[in-house]
Amino acid sequence: MTGSVMPPYIYYFIGALLLPVVPGRLAKRALTLLVPVLAFAALVAVPKGSYNIIPFLNYHLILMRVDKLSLVFSYVFVIMSFIGAIYALHIKEEGQMVAAFLYVGSTLGVTFAGDYFTLFFFWEIMAGASVFLIWYNKTEASVKAGYRYLLVHVAGGCLLLAGILLQIATKHSIAFEPGSFGGVASYFILAGFIVNAAVPPFHPWLPDAYPMGTITGSVFLTAYTTKSAVYVLCRGFAGVEVLMWLGAIMAIYGVVYAFIEVDMRKLLSYHIVSQVGYMVCGVGIGTELALNGSAAHAFCHILYKALLFMACGAVIHVTGKRKLTELSGKGLYKTMPFTLAMYMIAAFSISAVPLFNGFISKSMVVAGAGEAHHGLVELMLHLASVGTFLSVGLKLPYFAWFGKPIHPHEAEPVMGGRPPLNMEIAMAIAGFLCIALGVYPDALYRLLPYAVNFHPYTYGHVVKTMGMLLFVLLAFVIYLPKISLHDRTNLDTDWFYRKGASLLYRFVSGPMDAFYRNMQARFSRQVDFIAFVAKNPYTAPALLWLGFERFVASGFGVLKSVPDLARVEAKFQDLSKKDYTPEAYKSPVGVGVMLSVFFLAVFMLIYLLR
């Protein structure tokens, strides 16, 4: 079908424009909740097909391409925006929600884009809007992290734009469709996508920036950038085998760094890298089962990862502390039991415990690897699941809510109570959805792009999963006395470009700056000389001759001091310093009159004698 429809993302852009001007806090809160509701209603009503097609040069911009793949991502994006809006109702700065609405709207624009120009337009708005969710934290660390975040995403956008332009030059098309992988254009486009997907070694922007965001802003950040990248990879690069291996490496890489982290939100950020690895791996496998698994896992991941960040955000809101070394032994299980319960729902979900949503989605990707006979990849994904339960399901909740004090003098409990009611309501909604989808997976399976013939709750699968999780729990209990927390900085691949940037700055501010100043001084002298010659045209030959004499007198540039050289040099400097005056080169008026009379007389004499 073709025609024109109201794109759901328009509601977010309108909401972002209206929110600062709507009077009254109650009206602002109502608008904050109304925007996702209207967007969801528009999303449900739109039929499948391509809409809002606009001629552009020799191409067509497709602003709305609606199919099952775009819809499954769009549903969870809008649902998450509603949960995030409830979680943020207590904040007084509407600027955060303006940035969040622009962020969500641009992500939906990417999801529905049917051409690369439209995709790139919304892709850049997405990066520009999301950085304000980091800067609104208003600390020196968040400002610096935001700039690094923006630089990385601008670089990724440049790679994407280069690929788009190359595709136009080679294929004369801007259609965003699955294409042959292997051309130069496809390499650039894929590189731009995997930067946003946080594929190592391009991932450090994520654990660097997300922990620095505001409490509410980080909840939005977890849901959109990486999952929109998963969507475009599903759309354009399904079956590219290199993505399978990159995804498997991501899954392992993230859990390793998460286990050694003590900052709660940084630990969870590394697990975003790991969980997105499952999705990227499914895209690389490319079978219908694996692609269904990637889409389903993105849907479930947005819910449980947001819930994890909301629970840890509630702890930070109440205690002002974000590191396990600061929270261990504070007795938070006594003062924040509801937040602990919501966190454990999310932790069981991400660990793929049966009856929670991660179990019904993660197992599809793992089964897809087995079905395609990629045994090593399947093993890597299982190992990543072990690390996930160990760090998110056991380590973080134990040391944050229970545990022993790291320092004996800090044994007193943290003073504080429950977080704001709206934060608890948002966590409850997300927790309910995590359990509901785990208990009734068909509600999600019906939305997936391909028909689902997968049954997660088989006897063998449940027993195998529970056996693995119980073994990890036993190992954690046994080795718990030997686990120690250390507040330290863990080096990642960003060390290379941070050190490289430091060396580049030293080079630019040192030798390069000196070279620039030297060349500037030389060119300034040449410009001054040219300007002088232009004002004193009769002096130019004399200066050139004196310059030649100076060169000869110095022994063709060898001698430094001889009497003739000194004399010529003095004469040259004296002549070059003379200022121009309008009367300097004027001849006496009588000479001109005499010459005119003389030539007139000669002309008359010749005329008369002819």
- The DSSP-derived string for 45-82 is HPPSEEEEEEEETTEEEEEEEESHHHHHHHHHHHHHHH
Instruction: Indicate whether 198 and 286 sit together in one domain.
Output: no
Is 523 a domain residue?
Answer: no
Judged by average pLDDT, the poorest of 73-87, 457-471, 474-488 is 474-488
Compute the distance between CA of residue 591 and CA of residue 608 in angstroms, rounded to an integer.
Answer: 26
Compute the distance between CA of residue 441 and CA of residue 296 in angstroms, rounded to an integer.
Answer: 10
**Domain-terminating residue out of 492, 518, 553:** 492
Is 46 a domain residue?
Answer: yes
Judged by average pLDDT, the poorest of 222-231, 422-431, 476-485 is 476-485
Instruction: Indicate whether 416 and 564 sit together in one domain.
Output: no
Stronger pLDDT, 14 or 418, i.e. the higher one: 14
Is 109 a domain residue?
Answer: yes
pLDDT grade for 514, boundaries at 50, 70 and 90 = confident
Q: pLDDT, tens digit, for every residue of 550-606?
A: 666 555 544 444 455 555 556 656 655 555 555 555 556 666 677 778 878 887 888
**What does the buried/exposed string (b/e) look like for 398-428 if buried means 16 or more CB atoms within 10 Å of the residue's CB?**
bbbbebeebeeeeeeebeeeebeebbbebbb
DSSP state for residue 413 in the 8-state scheme: P
Residue 535 corresponds to which tokens in the numbers above? Answer: 């004002």
Stronger pLDDT, 326 or 303, i.e. the higher one: 303
Alpha helices in 172-263 (DSSP H): 184-196, 205-209, 215-236, 241-259
pLDDT at 213 > cutoff 70: yes
Residue 363 corresponds to which tokens in the numbers above? Answer: 């197992």
- To which residue do tokens 């991502």 refer? 73
DSSP state for residue 508 in the 8-state scheme: I
Instruction: Indicate whether 133 and 254 sit together in one domain.
Output: no
| End-to-end CA separation in angstroms for the chain | 98
H or E segment and range at residue 402: none
**Mean pLDDT to the nearest integer, 130-138:** 94
pLDDT at 491: 77
Residue 339 corresponds to which tokens in the numbers above? Answer: 């937040």
Q: pLDDT, tens digit, for every residue of 249-272?
A: 999 999 999 988 999 999 999 999
Judged by average pLDDT, the poorest of 109-113, 471-475, 482-486, 535-539 is 535-539
pLDDT at 255: 93
CB 417 within 8 A of CB 335: yes
**Mean pLDDT to the nearest integer, 19-42:** 94
> Can you count the helices (H) and strands (E) in the chain?
27, 2
**What does the buried/exposed string (b/e) look like for 539-555 if buried means 16 or more CB atoms within 10 Å of the residue's CB?**
beeebeebeebbeebbe
pLDDT grade for 56, boundaries at 50, 70 and 90 = confident
Q: Which of 490, 497, 431 is nearest to 263 (CA)?
A: 490
Is 431 a domain residue?
Answer: yes
Instruction: Indicate whether 224 and 244 sit together in one domain.
Output: no
pLDDT at 68: 95
CB 340 within 8 A of CB 397: yes
pLDDT at 389 > cutoff 70: yes
pLDDT at 151: 92
Is 178 a domain residue?
Answer: yes
Instruction: Indicate whether 275 and 414 sit together in one domain.
Output: yes
Is 185 a domain residue?
Answer: yes
Residues in the chain: 610
**Domain-terminating residue out of 175, 206, 236:** 236
Instruction: Indicate whether 127 and 99 sit together in one domain.
Output: yes
H or E segment and range at residue 375: helix 375-388
Compute the distance between CA of residue 125 and CA of residue 375 in angstroms, rounded to an integer.
Answer: 40
How many structural domains is the chain composed of?
3
Instruction: Indicate whether 273 and 130 sit together in one domain.
Output: no
DSSP state for residue 212 in the 8-state scheme: G
Q: Give the Å distances, CA to CA, from 10 to 6, 122, 366.
A: 7, 12, 37
Instruction: Indicate whether 185 and 242 sit together in one domain.
Output: no
pLDDT at 559: 44
Q: Give the Å distances, CA to CA, from 20 to 198, 230, 418.
A: 33, 32, 29
H or E segment and range at residue 532: helix 513-535
CB 313 within 8 A of CB 263: no
Is 606 a domain residue?
Answer: no
**Mean pLDDT to the nearest integer, 410-418:** 62
DSSP state for residue 579 in the 8-state scheme: P
Most distant CA atoms of the chain, gap in Å: 133
Residue 118 corresponds to which tokens in the numbers above? Answer: 């439209």
Contacts (Cβ under 8 Å, ≥6 apart) of 505: none
Instruction: Indicate whether 222 and 253 sit together in one domain.
Output: no
Report the percent of the chain where pLDDT is more than 90: 64
Instruction: Indicate whether 202 and 347 sit together in one domain.
Output: no
Is 506 a domain residue?
Answer: no
Instruction: Indicate whether 135 and 272 sit together in one domain.
Output: no
The average confidence (pLDDT) of the chain is 87
**Mean pLDDT to the nearest integer, 352-373:** 94
pLDDT at 178: 84
**Mean pLDDT to the nearest integer, 362-383:** 94
Alpha helices in 536-582 (DSSP H): 539-553, 563-576
**Domain-terminating residue out of 466, 492, 518:** 492
Instruction: Indicate whether 262 and 141 sit together in one domain.
Output: no
Contacts (Cβ under 8 Å, ≥6 apart) of 337: none
- Report the DSSP pairing between strands 49-56 and 59-66: antiparallel
pLDDT at 572: 58
CB 313 within 8 A of CB 294: no
Q: pLDDT, tens digit, for every residue of 153-187?
A: 999 999 999 999 999 998 888 999 887 677 899 99
Stronger pLDDT, 406 or 9, i.e. the higher one: 9
CB 73 within 8 A of CB 8: no
Domain extent, residue 580, equals 536-600
pLDDT at 510: 79
Rg (CA), the chain: 35
